[in-house]
């Protein structure tokens, strides 16, 4: 099966994806390009509901769906209500904690809010739809699955997939439950082809094996040609994983991470990543991106602010982006405390270590103590010398800083 993508395309869909850096592998680029040139192509991307919010590490897949719609095709969002009960072993070193139906459904409802900001849902030919794969997976009989689907998979080949090899090579347990994940994901593609005329699946490069399984299963059982596209692994210039910050995961939902911290994550982008992230995570035109990524010295900071504003506007809304930008301006240019910094209300007093952790500026008390020892913790711009410092909170809010770029407020009880 062909893995390499073509360099030139005739369809708006693949031209757009290629120009903005989304294409890593394509199962049959010429055939998919021809199909997308002559008809609306329903395309799906899948997400498991293991938390109440997706994070920035998932955002390239979410933006794929946005690009699909922008190119005049139909995005299908598959929420893995069924597959979440099993757990995708791809990229995992250990067995994932399993959730019950109530927890999964609550997560799906919460995650949908992020998609509603980025996609247009409805009944039109290019409107997005969200589907829960529990609709069909929960109805599958075990014998039926083994007989009709399982016979198309060989253990020999399944053992060659990276998601399996990684765990086995490290002598870490891979449960029979997880081993079945790739079969169920392949069945999703077959079912979506039948229900929605879905002709392509897209996802991260770690999903290549699962996507190929679905392509082959759909062809073998129904004789329908479908296609797969993967995105490159998105890492930051320093080699670190996309989606993580000093304080932990960068969540898309505002109830999991403040607007300011979301904005600040993008503002802190490495100079070398500005152009790439503008192409992947914003709608800024490509010619403007070419100009911005060519800036040098202090001017590149203006490009970072545009990245932060545009990325925040897409996922959080225009008002949130404006508030976060104004908070940053007041905090860093005027030295004042903006109203949208992460904050907690304190009755009386709080220790500096607890304050750093409770504000989300440090992930643990150990990290907070190291921050203090290294001279990076400040109370209203005064360096903290002693980890046992107790802060009396009354009157005006008190600003706590961890390093030069992470700040929070301690508010007194009204």
CA distance 353 to 201: 46
CA distance 377 to 318: 32
pTM: 0.78
Whether 5 is in a domain gets the answer no
Whether 161 is in a domain gets the answer yes
Whether 120 is in a domain gets the answer yes
Q: Which of 279, 303, 333 is the last residue of a domain?
A: 333
* Parent domain of 347: 343-412
CATH of the domain at 380: 3.10.290.10
CATH of the domain at 33: 3.40.50.620
Q: Which two tokens stand for residue 392?
A: 């009396």
Per DSSP, what are the bridge partners of residue 244? 249
212 and 76 in a common domain: yes
User: What does the pLDDT read at residue 339?
Assistant: 55
395 and 264 in a common domain: no
CATH of the domain at 263: 1.10.240.10
Q: Which of 333, 363, 381 is the last residue of a domain?
A: 333
207 and 142 in a common domain: yes
User: What does the pLDDT read at residue 188?
Assistant: 95
Contacts of 81 (CB under 8 A, 6+ apart): 49, 101, 104, 105, 108, 132, 133, 134, 135
Longest pairwise C-alpha distance within the chain:
72
Taking CB atoms within 8 Å and a gap of at least 24, the contacts of 398-405 are 399/337, 399/341, 400/352, 400/355, 400/356, 400/359, 400/361, 401/361, 401/376, 401/377, 402/246, 402/356, 402/361, 402/362, 402/368, 402/371, 402/376, 402/377, 403/246, 403/371, 403/376, 405/264, 405/267, 405/268
128 and 194 in a common domain: yes
208 and 308 in a common domain: no
Whether 3 is in a domain gets the answer no
Percentages helix, strand, coil for the chain (3-state, rounded to 5) are 50, 15, 35
CA distance to 30, 178, 324, per residue, from 401 (Å): 53, 43, 17
DSSP state of 119: S
Whether 236 is in a domain gets the answer no
Residue with structure tokens 């706590």?
Answer: 400
354 and 272 in a common domain: no
351 and 303 in a common domain: no
Number of domains in the chain: 3
CA distance to 275, 285, 293, 391, per residue, from 279 (Å): 6, 8, 10, 44
User: What does the pLDDT read at residue 93?
Assistant: 45
Whether 253 is in a domain gets the answer no
User: What does the pLDDT read at residue 163?
Assistant: 67
Q: Which of 333, 360, 391 is the last residue of a domain?
A: 333
Tell me, rounded to whole angstroms, the distance of Cα 67 from its chain centroid: 15
321 and 372 in a common domain: no
173 and 31 in a common domain: yes
User: What does the pLDDT read at residue 170?
Assistant: 74
Please count the CA atoms within 13 angstroms of the CA of 287 that sit on its side-chain side. Answer: 0
92 and 183 in a common domain: yes
353 and 318 in a common domain: no
Whether 247 is in a domain gets the answer no
Whether 156 is in a domain gets the answer yes
Residues of the chain with pLDDT under 50: 3-4, 91-95, 246
CB-count burial class (<10 Å; 0-12, 13-18, 19+) for 192: buried
362 and 310 in a common domain: no
CA distance 341 to 322: 13
């Amino acid at each position: 099966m062909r893995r390499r993508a073509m360099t030139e395309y005739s369809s708006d869909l693949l031209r757009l994806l290629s120009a903005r850096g989304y294409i890593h592998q394509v199962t049959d680029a010429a055939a998919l390009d021809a199909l997308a040139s002559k008809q609306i192509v329903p395309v799906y991307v899948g997400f498991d509901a293991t938390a109440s919010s997706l994070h920035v590490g998932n955002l390239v897949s979410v933006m794929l769906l946005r690009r699909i719609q922008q190119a005049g095709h139909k995005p299908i969002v598959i929420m893995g209500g069924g597959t979440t009960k099993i757990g995708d072993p791809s990229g995992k070193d250990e067995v994932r904690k399993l959730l019950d139906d109530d927890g999964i459904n609550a997560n799906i409802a919460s995650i949908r809010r992020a998609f509603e900001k980025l996609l247009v849902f409805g009944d039109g030919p290019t409107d997005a739809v969200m589907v829960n794969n529990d609709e069909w997976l929960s109805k599958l009989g075990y014998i039926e699955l083994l007989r009709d689907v399982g016979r198309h998979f060989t253990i020999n080949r399944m053992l060659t997939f990276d998601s399996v090899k990684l765990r086995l090579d490290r002598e870490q347990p891979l449960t029979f439950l997880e081993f079945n994940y790739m079969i169920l994901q392949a069945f999703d593609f077959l079912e979506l082809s039948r229900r929605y005329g879905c002709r392509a699946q897209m996802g991260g490069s770690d999903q290549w094996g699962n996507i190929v399984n679905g392509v082959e299963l759909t062809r073998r059982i129904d004789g329908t040609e479908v296609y797969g596209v993967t995105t490159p692994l998105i890492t930051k210039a320093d080699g670190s994983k996309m989606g993580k910050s000093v304080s932990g995961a960068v969540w898309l939902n505002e109830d999991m991470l403040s607007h300011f911290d979301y904005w600040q994550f993008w503002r802190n982008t490495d100079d070398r990543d500005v152009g790439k992230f503008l192409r992947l995570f914003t709608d800024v035109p490509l010619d403007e991106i070419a100009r911005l990524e060519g800036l040098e010295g202090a001017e590149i900071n203006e490009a970072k602010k545009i990245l932060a504003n545009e990325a925040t506007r897409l996922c959080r809304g225009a008002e949130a982006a404006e508030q976060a930008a104004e908070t940053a301006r007041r905090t860093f240019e005027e030295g004042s405390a903006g109203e949208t910094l992460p904050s907690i209300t304190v009755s009386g007093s709080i220790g500096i270590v607890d304050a750093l952790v409770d504000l989300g500026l440090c992930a643990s008390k150990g990290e907070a103590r190291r921050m203090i020892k290294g001279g990076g913790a400040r109370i209203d711009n005064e360096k903290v010398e002693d980890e046992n410092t107790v802060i009396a909170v009354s009157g005006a809010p008190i600003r706590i800083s961890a390093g030069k770029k992470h700040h929070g407020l301690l508010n007194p009880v009204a």
